[in-house]
Structure 1
Amino acid sequence: MSYQLVRHLIIVADDLTGAADSAARAFDAGLPATIYLRPVPAAWPPGVVAFSSDSRFLPPGEAAEQVRTLVAALRAPPATWYKKIDSTLRGNIGAELDAMLGALARPDHPTVAVVCPAFPAQRRGLADGMLILSGQQEPLLYLPALITRETARPVALLPLEIVEKGTGALAAAMRAAAGQGAQILVVDALSDDDLATLLAATQRVLPHALLCGSAGLVAPLARSLIAQEGFAPATTHPPPLPMRPPLLAVVGSGSTMAHRQIDALRGQNNLSLIEVDQDQSAPVGLEPTSKRGVIVHLPKPAAGTILEGERARSLAAALADTAARLAEVLQPGLIVLVGGDTAVHTLERLDIHQLTVRAEVMPGIPLLTGVTSGGEKYNLITKAGSFGDEVTLVRIIDLLGENTVSGR
């Protein structure tokens, strides 16, 4: 069952897949969810509305300004706001959080944010302020330091030992830190229970705080809104979506996991894998296929390659041109977009500016419907490049064999 909100939950992410994974978590908790590629007036569908500032690749000052501009364009009747950040701490976290706090500041409420990037369903957490990743080999990242590089607002860390003592202990620590002038409270969490404790403590002592985190914190927030704010049940539910082959997967992410997922598809006779050279706008010989799926992807980047920035954006744009041409020829029953830059560029090429969540097929991975300005409908899945394990794309392709995926 899904519920319609009296107040909207507005999610502001720094890239499109981040907006979508958060919307997916809220949908799975019971709230209808819509994702917009551009700011639109506040006559939104009920429930969750998620937006991307498309600012992860920008310098901190420009990213902050982009967030301020987006929030100003979205100012609406009373709403619950959520600042979505990357669960692996990429992007301009301090600058964008500072900008959003400033844009939402009210003289009758303290200016404070509660921050936790943990996403246990994707094996990501925070302990002693340090990012914890499953199978982590990269250097540890210390979140309070990342934030203070980009904002002068005072930061306090509330460690896991306090969280594990329960809501009362964490609430008292939050009250004390805010009373001493901290405006950004970084809170450790490794489990969904920890996130539930964080949310309960925040609502007890800092009910007007801006919550900031990954998709992991969105699910308990959505459930809390349903329980506490008396939303009316939705009366209609979209029918199941047809999932006919072929599938078109567009993988522009340079993450190690995304390329492991591509490798897991090699050798399957019913799939075509097409590597698009970095300066090639489309593969040669586009034609309809009897294959179950076509996967078009960029080459695996060399070690040490910077995976974000203008060069990465230009490669994603070229790949999106290929994807749009393939979509026209193949008429796919499902399009899978892997990577934020890839997703936004491909959707722009397809003339899709609004997405409706129909199901969460895996944690943080939504099945979506997109409609072009001409009324053409597409079934889509978006996925952050690093989400999932080696066989995640295999599982997504297997959805075609099930014919339908139920939506609400």
Structure 2
Amino acid sequence: MLLGCIGDDFTGSSDLANTLVKGGMTVTQYCGLPVAPAAPDVEAGVVALKTRSLPAGEAVRQSLAALDWLQAQGCRQIFFKYCSTFDSTPEGNIGPVAEALMQKLGAGHAVVCPAFPAAGRSLYQGHLFVGDRLLNESGMEAHPLTPMTDPDIRRWLRLQTRQAVGHVAHADVMRGAEAIAEALAREAARGAGLIVVDAVSDGDLHAIGTASVDLPLVTGGSGVALGLPENFRRAGLLTGRSWSFEGVRGPGVVLSGSCSQATRRQVEIYRRDYPALEITADAVMEGRLRIGDIVAFVLSGQPQAPLVYSSADPQTVRRAQEAYGAAALAEAIEALFADLAAALSATGIQRLVSAGGETSGAVVTGLGCSALRIGPEIDPGVPALRVEDAPLALALKSGNFGGDDFFARALAVLAGGTAAGERA
């Protein structure tokens, strides 16, 4: 294994794996901390954790355990993947995990770059944009678990870490990899450990990747990984092997727990033509939902691939959090989706689309998957996934990713079609 990756959620990890596959690497995504050695053909291993919303100390512990396993596989570089909207709180977890990884690796400094222009995330003068909006005006300020109220990534990161935070501005980035490397060295000489690097295009990301060739640790969204495979190719280390994705045409379902604007649009469009069941906070917390009833609904709606969703608007979410407590509500909904995924798999569901990082983590946990192979891209940042040694195909979508008709197209790709092919 050449490149070892640690993801703080399951959807972001599949996003990263997708980027590396497109770059020509043979990639496996591991669901949680692996216990067995990696297969010999794996060039990049992505350990998908569920640490984004954990207490910082626990997130650090799990991330260091993943690092130990990856180092045991012989990795030459480590990549810490977090969301392209820098989902975190003033307490962490991005800063504490990055700092701990740096210390364990003996890294003097590391790149920080959440930018992903293909998905509308750009970083300019240290400020993160979503489309033409600053991060704190994009809807992320209302995120139920990690509200992003400051678009200045340097300022946000300083709240989370003891490291000095540096910055490589776009004026240096646009001059190419050599200028970026010089700017990184300059910031490190000034004492910066975590260095925020601007990026507004894929060309910028490729240049940042090239400049990071000798860094023990790189951190960011999946976008900054665009340039990493080429470093290994130039060194003659990639085999050029590829894996052929085989779809499955069995029964399907869509499970959505994301409350993002993009997912709520996708839910609204999908439910116009397909069976849909809303899961409300009150029903979950009052124990009025039975897994068997939800499974019966999904099975009765076949072959149309029904939707089961809890994607409420921010005001509804806020009221529910005030009534039941944010942590207790999130835990209960995730537990429901985990149990539901397990029950649906047992009935023969073979195509499953999940929306939302926390939901997807719960779904994968419920399915008991240990490793996933990466298939074709459905939308930027969202690949089709095939569970190893099982007739089950998945799509794990971050909340803000995907076009309005994503659910139907994802189900078609999981069945072996193309992203522009027939609907589910």
| TM-score, normalised by the number of residues in structure 1 | 0.86
Structure 2 letter corresponding to 1:98: E
Alpha-carbon distance, 1:41 to partner = 4.7
Structure 1 letter corresponding to 2:277: I
Partner of 2:152: 142
CA displacement, residues 203-223 of structure 1 (integer Å, 9 cap, x when unaligned): 3xxx13411110111222123
Residue of structure 1 aligned with 2:344, choices 312, 321, 326? 326
Q: Compared with structure 1, are the counterparts of its residues 36 and 49 closer, same or farther at alpha carbon in structure 2 (3 Å cutoff)? A: same
Separation in 2, partners of 1:220, 1:308: 38
2:208 pairs with 1:214? no
CA contact (8 A) 1:317 1:342 kept: no
Separation in 2, partners of 1:175, 1:90: 27
Segment of structure 1 superposing worse, 177-186 or 301-310:
301-310
CA displacement, residues 23-47 of structure 1 (integer Å, 9 cap, x when unaligned): 1111121112111123225621221
Q: Compared with structure 1, are the counterparts of its residues 295 and 128 closer, same or farther at alpha carbon in structure 2 (3 Å cutoff)? A: same
Partner of 2:144: none
| TM-score, normalised by the number of residues in structure 2 | 0.83
CA displacement, residues 300-350 of structure 1 (integer Å, 9 cap, x when unaligned): 143273798453232122123223333433x33411121222222222222
Question: Gaps spanning 5+ residues in structure 1: where?
Answer: 1-6
CA contact (8 A) 1:94 1:146 kept: no
CA contact (8 A) 2:117 2:223 kept: yes
CA contact (8 A) 1:275 1:297 kept: yes
CA contact (8 A) 2:355 2:399 kept: yes
Partner of 2:308: 296
Residue of structure 2 aligned with 1:188, choices 198, 213, 228? 198
Residue of structure 2 aligned with 1:199, choices 209, 213, 217? 209
SS state of the match for residue 82, structure 1?
strand
CA contact (8 A) 2:208 2:224 kept: no
CA RMSD across the alignment = 2.5
The structure whose residues are more often helix, as a share, is 2
Percent identical pairs in the alignment equals 26
Partner of 1:3: none
Q: Compared with structure 1, are the counterparts of its residues 174 and 237 closer, same or farther at alpha carbon in structure 2 (3 Å cutoff)? A: closer
SS state of the match for residue 253, structure 1?
coil
Residue of structure 2 aligned with 1:354, choices 371, 375, 381? 371
CA contact (8 A) 2:2 2:43 kept: yes
Matches within 5 A, 1:98-247: 98-105=99-106, 110-134=107-131, 136=133, 137-138=137-138, 139-203=149-213, 207-234=214-241, 237-238=243-244, 240-247=245-252
Separation in 2, partners of 1:383, 1:257: 11
SS state of the match for residue 399, structure 2?
coil
CA contact (8 A) 2:6 2:47 kept: yes
Q: Compared with structure 1, are the counterparts of its residues 217 and 396 closer, same or farther at alpha carbon in structure 2 (3 Å cutoff)? A: same
Separation in 2, partners of 1:135, 1:320: 36
CA contact (8 A) 2:25 2:238 kept: no
Structure 1 letter corresponding to 2:259: G
Alpha-carbon distance, 1:246 to partner = 3.2
Question: Gaps spanning 5+ residues in structure 2: where?
Answer: 139-148, 420-424
Separation in 2, partners of 1:309, 1:216: 30
SS state of the match for residue 200, structure 2?
coil
CA contact (8 A) 1:95 1:151 kept: yes
